[in-house]
Amino acid sequence: MSQPRTPAQVLRDARQKDSRDKRGRVLSTVDRLLADNEPITFTGVARAANVSHWLVYAAGMREHIDAARRRQTRATTNDTRAATIAPAGWKVEQQLLQQDNRRLREEVDRLKTAIRRNLGQQLDQLGAADLSTRVNELTALNQRLQSDLERAQALITDLTGQLNEAHDDLAAARTSIRQLIRVENTASATP
């Protein structure tokens, strides 16, 4: 026969069950937000799971939420949803950079094709005596085109760096806003 439980044991068991239920709601809410590709924030998880802010920052919960946020950040870097969140100016700048890159690649391909075609035609037309002179001219032209290509690639690298800096600035601004919201939430929660 089991002994009757004391009121303290009943209360402790009820609190443990309530704690397990709340933690389970937090974990399922985080998984649902991740699956729905919704932004995962501590405040958002606490509201969606209907639990206290303290619980989402508690050991075990915080690590799970941070891991989900990191997965979501990695997943959205190339996602079109992340592009819709970015300011319009940055989207335009990114599109312009992509168009410039595409245009430069097409121009390089076109120039290579033209050089090959012209070289073949001219070699057919020239005699053996003119070949060495023509090869020197084509070598100089090739070097000039190579330097043009290197300048274009340097420009692409520079513009990509500027775009990365803009993305870093955006991430820093978002982090600052989150911290301000967190401070504001903490201030409004304290009487």
Condensed to tens digits (0 to 9), the pLDDT of residues 160-176 reads 999 999 999 999 999 99
- Comparing CA positions, the residue from 53, 63, 60, 57 lying closest to residue 20 is 60
Same domain flag for 90 and 183: yes
Same domain flag for 107 and 69: no
Same domain flag for 90 and 72: no
Which of 25, 43, 76 is the last residue in one of the domains? 76
State how far the Cα of 151 lies from the Cα of 76, in Å rounded to an integer: 32
Which of 76, 105, 125 is the last residue in one of the domains? 76
Same domain flag for 165 and 90: yes
Who's near 90: CB < 8 A, 6+ residues apart? 163, 166, 167, 170
User: Is the residue at 92 inside a domain?
Assistant: yes
Please give the mean pLDDT across all residues of the chain. Answer: 84
State how far the Cα of 65 lies from the Cα of 73, in Å rounded to an integer: 12
**51 pLDDT more than 70:** yes
Same domain flag for 130 and 71: no
Neighbours of 70 (CB within 10 A): 11
Instruction: Give the total residue count for the chain.
Output: 191
User: Is the residue at 1 inside a domain?
Assistant: no
Residues 79-84, mean pLDDT to the nearest whole number: 55
pLDDT band at 154 (very low <50, low <70, confident <90, very high): very high
pLDDT band at 86 (very low <50, low <70, confident <90, very high): low
Number of domains in the chain: 2
Same domain flag for 63 and 18: yes
The more confident residue out of 117 and 75 is 117
User: Is the residue at 128 inside a domain?
Assistant: yes
Domain that includes residue 180, residue range: 86-189
pLDDT above 90 coverage of the chain, percent:
29
Same domain flag for 57 and 101: no
Same domain flag for 62 and 23: yes
Per-residue pLDDT, 27: 92
Same domain flag for 114 and 45: no
Per-residue pLDDT, 84: 56
Which of 29, 52, 76 is the last residue in one of the domains? 76
**82 pLDDT more than 70:** no
Least confident of 72-81, 95-104, 105-114: 72-81
Per-residue pLDDT, 79: 57
